[in-house]
Chains A and B, each alone.
Chain A
Amino acid sequence: MPYIQNSDADREAMLAEVGVGSVRELFDSLPQDQLLDRDLAIDPGLNEEQLQRHLANLGAENTPAAGACFLGGGFYDHAWPALVDHLMQRTEFLTSYTPYQPECSQGTLQWIYEFQTMIADLCGCEVANASMYDGASAAAEAALMAMNATGRSKVVVSAGMHPHARATIMTYLKHIDAEVVEAPLKNGVTDWGDLVDDQTAAVMVQQPNYLGNVESMAPVVAIAKAVKAYSVASIYPVSMGLLKSPGEQGFDIVVGDGQSLGVPLGYGGPSFGFFAASLKAVRKLPGRLVGISEDTEGKRAFTLAFQTREQHIRREKATSNICTNNALIALRGCMHMAALGPEGLEEVACVSRQRALEMVGILKQAGFSRAFPDAAFFNEVAFRADSEDQVLQFKRALKDEGLFGVIPMGRDYPGMEDVFTMACTERTLPEDLIRLGRIAATVLQQEVAR
């Protein structure tokens, strides 16, 4: 049988030791009328060769966007060095458990400490945790933490946050007596109006926002501070190569999705979320934390810290849902951040934005203008078409040429049916930009001809 090492002879000997006659007898104490009297209706097992062939056939039914990808929407087609793939697969990382026993888990614990440091620096905060499930759930946890810390129940969320993050916040807060208010967009950026008041626990913004636009960050901090609410920013890590970190600007909590830090697109997961805040808030921080302590001989030793915050210990008094972290993927992030270094991050950010600037020029020439010309963008840009039909036509035309792009905004933003976004990264090929322009021109000319 696959993956079972003991032979029939082993089993015979073991059954004798246990004092039962057959494997089936081990289940004799179970209520017999509850047992399955047939085999499961699951296909017979495959051997390894058959399995690989089967999966290869299935894989052939996919057309991966990676390498020809203008899709963004929270996941971006960035590059990573080969060492990330290779070292992450070391089975000493791959097949270890949560480092509850620190003496035999120093490897995992040390890289988590390094990860926490680099994430905290990325966010401009004092501390970061060992990672979250993803960016959306990290945002929801930030709302919970702000409510818990302020004792208030209203959360004001920018409509520019990722639709999935907003949806996740709604679901998480639905049953705990909270009010979620959405601050609308005006000219592609958040219009806070007078929505934030002294009942507000958190003011939440995404940088750059889902339309690709750069938000004004200092006013968010000011609005929140004025009523002693928590300011929360969700960031796209690569943009931090050029943009100021929210922590530096005074944000209380900084979260985000780490996919752009060395994680494959992977059809949306797993990536890792991150969560950073100030040291004084550490007891309210969700998730796992690693700290430095010492062993009995005074040697530096890493260990889990503040475990009593974790929900499996707090039980019904828990204020967060995260139990595990996304360790293995955060390890990718850790290796990738160290491989980039400060200059590497800035270079990736620069080239991604340079390609986006080129894309804007090329598409403008073809006839697609920016939807929000007064807003600044980083690497993702909202364009306006003549109609929703034209948006979909452009998307199809790209796909016919083997390119992936165009996220229609209409589904998430009523009234923006004619708006779509496109993103570039350092992997965007100049020749693909040229093809993009040609395809756009063809689509627009067809429209004119009609």
Chain B
Amino acid sequence: MRLTPVNLLFEDSRPGRRTVRTPGADRSLATAGLPREELREKPVAWPEMGELDLVRHFTRLSQRNYAISTNFYPLGSCTMKYNPLVNEAIAGQGAWSGLHPLQDDSSVQGALKVMHDLAADLGEATGLPGVTLHPAAGAHGELTALMVLRAWLDEQGEDKRRTILIPDSAHGTNPASCTLAGFKVVSVKSDDMGLTDMDDLRTHLGDHVAGMMITNPNTLGLFEDNIAEICELIHQTGGKVYMDGANFNAIMGIARPGDFGIDMMHLNLHKTMSTPHGGGGPGSGPICVTEELTKYLPTPAVVKTNGKYRLRTPEASIGRVRAFHGNFMVLLRAYSYVKRLGAIGIRRVAENAVLNANYLRVKVRDHWRVPHDRICMHEFVARPTMEMREAGIHTMDVAKRLMELGYHPPTVYFPLVINEAIMAEPTETESRETLDGFAEAMIQVAKEAIAGEEFLHAAPRNMPVTRVDEAKAVKNPNLRYQHEA
């Protein structure tokens, strides 16, 4: 990783330097007829850069990043699998990227077919045939699905059902989405096995319950064995079950949520379907629902009639949660991924993801505490042993030390139900040697912790910066460059 700092664009800006020129501009012509009071008086204070310096700037910044393409990225719940480059090659073509969203349907038949067929394949893989590709991200999909639930409840005249049950191990976006959709959240406990506590669940049922949001496999990397019974209980009480599909990579082609009773779920195409995370986005969070709920999905949907594809608004649609038709260029990459894999390839993804996670678990379990040490799904949660804790080592120290050893740390301090959690998800695309190397690093850090190595608190020492004071960024906010007056 590049250690030498890179100046800010604004520090390297020099008056008169240019990269893009557009000939023919004539300010006096251009401003004719525009009201004087709406006209800008001084130009926007953007940097002035020459092209080569600009290319160096961003190339150097890229070298101060950790990425899947540089090494193993075992972030639990994030599914950092290989992002196939052929998908990038396809998405770079003008036949896709040059389509205007308001072109008439007859001129975008290829794009509509991609959306139509991707939706069909996602419906088949989840067992939930009603699919919308509209939401921009996972949390956006959750919100959309809860609004679909509201629309269904409204049509039933159910104006008292406003409670959603959520296991305490859930990701924070679940309760957040509930609040914005006008639901109240009640937390359901996990049992000693790390699964939904069925007795606790039963105490919360009643005619105030709109539904349940559940992650399966859950955030501990465990399959909810009672999922069918959970769905039945919620259905009996008059609600619907929503599944957070963040962990779908583990069961794709093995089991279908629609078959075990789920009514709605979202998929993170940027996780399961290999589209790049890009430093935080763009994602795509399609939702898949039962036949019954299909008519409430957002607009537009792609339908095929007489061999032609068209955009159409579902009959009782909740409306829009964003502009246009979804993150199409992400959908295109996901389509290309599904087509490359096929039915067998999809199942192999789940099998190998689960095998890799279990292999890693077995490799480290003698040196780390694995609270639920049994066959896991695509990820597992560990925590420091008592000996490590007694030596004063926290999970954060471990994370920073792993960076020194060349690895991005797993997800830390999540799920909240495990103290000092460290959650690793290797994904199916990693080789055995990579897993061995990472396991050795985990074991090395555990040994260093027990030996009371002081340098763990100082890690990382070989990164572009040493440990960053995150509190200072809040106490003395500096969120933008201040230009000299």
Is any CB of A less than 8 Å from a CB of B in the complex?
yes
Complex Cα spacing A327 to B327, Å: 13
Q: Any chain B CB within 8 A of the CB of A390?
A: no
Cross-chain contact A137 with B277 (CB below 8 angstroms): no
Contact with B along A291-328 (1 / 0, CB 8 A): 11111110111111110000111111110111111111
Cross-chain contact A136 with B323 (CB below 8 angstroms): yes
Chain A contacts with B in 80-104, Cβ cutoff 8 A:
81, 83, 85, 87, 89-99, 101-104
Complex Cα spacing A23 to B351, Å: 6
Cross-chain contact B324 with A268 (CB below 8 angstroms): yes
Cross-chain contact B323 with A36 (CB below 8 angstroms): no
Residue of B78, B82, B124, B403 touching A40 (CB-CB under 8 A): B124
Please judge, given known A-B contacts A15-B355, A357-B32, whether A269 and B136 are in contact too, CB under 8 Å: yes
Contact with B along A50-67 (1 / 0, CB 8 A): 011011101111111111
Q: Any chain A CB within 8 A of the CB of B485?
A: no
Chain A contacts with B in 393-416, Cβ cutoff 8 A:
395, 399, 404, 407
Cross-chain contact A97 with B98 (CB below 8 angstroms): no
Cross-chain contact A171 with B100 (CB below 8 angstroms): no
Chain B residues with CB under 8 Å of A304's CB are 470, 473
Please judge, given known A-B contacts A321-B139, A349-B30, whether A64 and B98 are in contact too, CB under 8 Å: yes
Please judge, given known A-B contacts A31-B225, A101-B399, whether A18 and B358 are in contact too, CB under 8 Å: yes
Please judge, given known A-B contacts A244-B40, A350-B30, whether A164 and B46 are in contact too, CB under 8 Å: no
Q: Any chain B CB within 8 A of the CB of A217?
A: yes
Contact with A along B346-380 (1 / 0, CB 8 A): 11110110111011001100000000001100000
Cross-chain contact A127 with B479 (CB below 8 angstroms): yes
Cross-chain contact B323 with A74 (CB below 8 angstroms): yes
Q: Any chain A CB within 8 A of the CB of B451?
A: no
CB distance from B228 to the nearest CB of A (A): 6
Q: Any chain B CB within 8 A of the CB of A48?
A: yes
Cross-chain contact A46 with B34 (CB below 8 angstroms): no
CB distance from A407 to the nearest CB of B (A): 6
Q: Any chain A CB within 8 A of the CB of B1?
A: yes
Chain B residues with CB under 8 Å of A41's CB are 124, 343
Cross-chain contact B359 with A14 (CB below 8 angstroms): yes
CB distance from A312 to the nearest CB of B (A): 4
Chain B residues with CB under 8 Å of A214's CB are 34-35, 38
CB distance from A208 to the nearest CB of B (A): 10
Chain B residues with CB under 8 Å of A54's CB are 339
Cross-chain contact B319 with A316 (CB below 8 angstroms): no
Please judge, given known A-B contacts A136-B323, A175-B182, A244-B40, whether A59 and B95 are in contact too, CB under 8 Å: yes
Q: Any chain A CB within 8 A of the CB of B54?
A: yes
Cross-chain contact A351 with B25 (CB below 8 angstroms): yes
Q: How many pairs of A and B residues are in contact by the CB < 8 Å rule?
A: 697
Please judge, given known A-B contacts A265-B97, A301-B465, whether A376 and B325 are in contact too, CB under 8 Å: no
Chain A residues with CB under 8 Å of B355's CB are 11, 14-15, 18, 23, 26
Cross-chain contact A52 with B89 (CB below 8 angstroms): yes
Chain A residues with CB under 8 Å of B99's CB are 62, 64-66, 265-267
Please judge, given known A-B contacts A27-B254, A61-B110, A103-B403, whether A43 and B65 are in contact too, CB under 8 Å: no
Cross-chain contact A103 with B463 (CB below 8 angstroms): yes
Cross-chain contact B20 with A81 (CB below 8 angstroms): yes
- Of B327, B336, B374, B428, most A-chain CB atoms within 10 Å: B327
Q: Any chain B CB within 8 A of the CB of A342?
A: yes
Complex Cα spacing A272 to B97, Å: 15
Whose C-beta in chain A lies nearest to the C-beta of B359?
A14
Complex Cα spacing A10 to B20, Å: 52
Please judge, given known A-B contacts A244-B38, A299-B466, whether A290 and B479 are in contact too, CB under 8 Å: yes
Complex Cα spacing A17 to B366, Å: 13
Cross-chain contact B88 with A89 (CB below 8 angstroms): yes
Please judge, given known A-B contacts A170-B319, A312-B172, A326-B282, whether A104 and B351 are in contact too, CB under 8 Å: no
Chain B contacts with A in 277-335, Cβ cutoff 8 A:
277-284, 298, 318-330
Chain A residues with CB under 8 Å of B320's CB are 136, 164, 167-168, 171
Please judge, given known A-B contacts A323-B137, A350-B27, whether A338 and B322 are in contact too, CB under 8 Å: no
Q: Any chain A CB within 8 A of the CB of B192?
A: no
Q: Any chain B CB within 8 A of the CB of A158?
A: no
Cross-chain contact A2 with B340 (CB below 8 angstroms): yes
Chain B residues with CB under 8 Å of A378's CB are 34
Chain B contacts with A in 52-95, Cβ cutoff 8 A:
54-55, 57-70, 73, 75, 78, 80-84, 86, 88-90, 92-95
Chain B residues with CB under 8 Å of A290's CB are 479
Chain B residues with CB under 8 Å of A13's CB are 432
CB distance from A231 to the nearest CB of B (A): 15
Whose C-beta in chain B lies nearest to the C-beta of A121?
B45
CB distance from B460 to the nearest CB of A (A): 5
Cross-chain contact A110 with B61 (CB below 8 angstroms): yes
Whose C-beta in chain A lies nearest to the C-beta of B414?
A312
Contact with B along A378-396 (1 / 0, CB 8 A): 1000000000000000010
Chain B residues with CB under 8 Å of A395's CB are 104
Q: Any chain A CB within 8 A of the CB of B259?
A: yes
Whose C-beta in chain B lies nearest to the C-beta of A169?
B320
Complex Cα spacing A296 to B463, Å: 12
Residue of B140, B354, B428 touching A321 (CB-CB under 8 A): B140
Please judge, given known A-B contacts A14-B432, A55-B90, whether A40 and B467 are in contact too, CB under 8 Å: no
Among A112-120, A191-199, A222-230, A439-447, the stretch that binds chain B is A112-120
Q: Any chain A CB within 8 A of the CB of B178?
A: yes
Cross-chain contact A294 with B345 (CB below 8 angstroms): no
Complex Cα spacing A34 to B326, Å: 32
Q: Any chain A CB within 8 A of the CB of B125?
A: yes
Cross-chain contact A26 with B375 (CB below 8 angstroms): yes
Q: Any chain A CB within 8 A of the CB of B384?
A: no
Cross-chain contact B336 with A55 (CB below 8 angstroms): yes
Cross-chain contact A293 with B75 (CB below 8 angstroms): no
Chain A residues with CB under 8 Å of B139's CB are 311-312, 321-324
Among B6-14, B198-206, B232-240, B442-450, the stretch that binds chain A is B6-14
Q: Any chain B CB within 8 A of the CB of A179?
A: no
Chain A residues with CB under 8 Å of B399's CB are 101
Contact with A along B260-273 (1 / 0, CB 8 A): 10000000000000
Cross-chain contact A113 with B481 (CB below 8 angstroms): yes
Whose C-beta in chain A lies nearest to the C-beta of B57?
A338
Contact with A along B10-43 (1 / 0, CB 8 A): 1000000111111011110111111101111101
Cross-chain contact B64 with A295 (CB below 8 angstroms): no
Whose C-beta in chain A lies nearest to the C-beta of B107?
A63
Residue of A170, A240, A270 touching B329 (CB-CB under 8 A): A270
CB distance from B475 to the nearest CB of A (A): 9
Contact with B along A30-41 (1 / 0, CB 8 A): 110111100111
Cross-chain contact A105 with B65 (CB below 8 angstroms): yes
Complex Cα spacing A330 to B281, Å: 9
Chain B residues with CB under 8 Å of A127's CB are 479-480
CB distance from B482 to the nearest CB of A (A): 9
Chain B residues with CB under 8 Å of A293's CB are 468-470, 472-473, 478
Chain A residues with CB under 8 Å of B473's CB are 291-293, 303-306
Chain A residues with CB under 8 Å of B33's CB are 357, 376-377
| New A-B pairs, 15, CB < 8 Å, besides A90-B59, A92-B67, A92-B69 | A1-B348, A6-B352, A11-B352, A17-B359, A40-B347, A45-B342, A89-B88, A91-B70, A107-B60, A121-B44, A244-B38, A311-B172, A322-B139, A335-B54, A345-B43
Can you identify 6 A-B contacts, CB atoms within 8 angstroms? A3-B341, A62-B96, A110-B61, A267-B103, A293-B473, A314-B176
Which 10 pairs across A and B sit closest by C-beta, in order of nearness? Answer: A328-B278, A268-B101, A45-B342, A268-B324, A64-B98, A59-B95, A175-B182, A66-B98, A318-B176, A61-B110
